[in-house]
C-alpha cells in the first residue's frame, strides 16, 4: 500500500485520508484539502483503495474497501493521535471501521447518506450507534444528503454535522450564491482542523 504524506512526520496528530469513488488520492481536490490541513500542524496521510491503485474504474466490493482501511490504520498504529476519514465513499468506509479500530476521531467530507435521487436507500444504520467522535462536513446542495434529508435521520450523539453554504458534493457553490468554492474549502478545512485539534 502506497502512502502520500503532507506535513511534519513528528506531528502530534495524524489524519488518514481516503479518496472518493471517482478520484485518486492525487486529485486536485484531495491535494488541496490535504495540504491545507497539513499547514495547520496535522500530518495528513493519503492512500488508495486497491481498485484505484490498479487503475480500475469500478470500486472494490465493501469487504475489500474495509480491509484496505484496516491495513492503512494498522500501518499507522504508532501515531499518537490517529484520526481517519475521507471524501464521500472514503469517509463512509472509514465510518464503518472507526469503532472497531478504536481511532481517536472521524472526519467525513460529503458523506453519501443515500445515492442521488434515491433518498429511500439510506446508508445510515451504523451511524445510529457510532461511538467514535465524528464530524461530517456537508454542502447544503449535496444530492447525497441535504439538510432536509439529514434532519430526519437518527444519528449518534457522537456525530456533528457542519453545513457549507450552497455547496455541492465537492462543496462547490453556484455563482449566484455569493460564496466561492475557495470559501467553502477553507471553511471545511477549518472545521476539520479544529475538530482534530480539540479531540
| Tens of pLDDT, residues 1-50 | 999 999 999 999 999 999 999 999 999 999 999 999 999 999 999 999 99
| Tens of pLDDT, residues 181-195 | 999 999 999 999 999
**Contact 135/107 with Cβ under 8 angstroms?**
yes
pLDDT-derived band of residue 55, with 50, 70 and 90 as boundaries?
Answer: very high
- The range of the structural domain enclosing residue 34 comes to 3-197
CA pseudo-torsion sign 157, 63, 87, 35:
positive
**Contact 91/69 with Cβ under 8 angstroms?**
no
Q: Give the CATH number, domain containing residue 48.
A: 3.40.50.1820
C-alpha closest to that of 16 among 62, 76, 61: 76
Average pLDDT over the chain, rounded to an integer: 97
Place of cell 435521520: 153
Characterize the bridge pairing of strands 3-6 and 43-47. Answer: antiparallel
Q: What is the DSSP string of the chain?
A: --EEEES-TT-SEEEEEE--SSS-TTSHHHHHHHHHHHTTT-EEEEE--HHHHTT-SSPPPHHHHHHHHHHHHHHTTT-SEEEEEEETHHHHHHHHHHHHHT-SEEEEES--SS-TT-TTS---GGGGS--S-EEEEEETT-TT--HHHHTTS---TTEEEEEETT--TTSPPPGGGS--HHHHHHHHHHHHHHHHHT-
Q: What was the pLDDT predicted at 195?
A: 98
Average pLDDT over residues 123-146: 98
| Tens of pLDDT, residues 160-181 | 999 999 999 999 999 999 999 9
Phi, psi at 19, each rounded to 5°: -80, 170
- The total number of structural domains that make up the chain: 1
Q: What was the pLDDT predicted at 88?
A: 98
Q: What was the pLDDT predicted at 80?
A: 86
Radius of gyration of the chain (CA): 16
| Tens of pLDDT, residues 90-126 | 999 999 999 999 999 999 999 999 999 999 999 999 9
Q: What was the pLDDT predicted at 32?
A: 98
Amino acid at each position: 500500500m502506497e502512502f502520500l504524506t503532507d506535513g511534519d512526520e513528528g506531528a502530534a496528530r495524524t489524519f488518514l485520508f481516503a479518496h472518493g469513488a471517482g478520484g485518486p488520492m492525487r486529485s486536485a481536490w484531495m491535494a488541496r484539502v490535504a495540504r491545507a490541513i497539513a499547514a495547520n500542524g496535522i500530518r495528513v496521510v493519503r492512500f488508495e483503495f486497491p481498485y484505484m491503485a490498479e487503475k480500475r474504474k469500478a470500486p472494490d466490493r465493501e469487504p475489500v474497501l474495509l480491509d484496505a482501511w484496516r491495513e492503512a490504520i494498522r500501518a499507522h498504529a504508532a501515531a499518537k493521535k490517529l484520526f481517519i476519514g475521507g471524501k464521500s465513499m472514503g469517509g463512509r468506509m472509514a465510518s464503518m471501521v472507526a469503532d472497531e479500530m478504536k481511532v481517536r476521531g472521524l472526519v467525513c467530507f460529503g458523506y453519501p447518506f443515500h445515492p442521488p435521487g434515491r433518498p429511500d436507500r439510506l446508508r445510515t444504520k451504523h451511524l445510529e450507534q457510532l461511538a467514535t467522535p465524528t464530524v461530517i462536513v456537508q454542502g447544503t446542495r449535496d444530492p447525497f444528503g441535504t439538510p432536509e434529508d439529514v434532519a430526519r435521520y437518527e444519528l449518534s450523539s457522537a456525530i456533528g454535522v457542519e453545513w457549507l453554504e450552497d455547496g455541492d458534493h465537492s462543496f462547490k457553490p453556484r455563482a449566484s450564491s455569493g460564496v466561492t468554492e475557495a470559501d467553502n474549502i477553507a471553511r471545511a478545512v477549518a472545521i476539520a482542523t479544529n475538530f482534530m485539534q480539540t479531540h
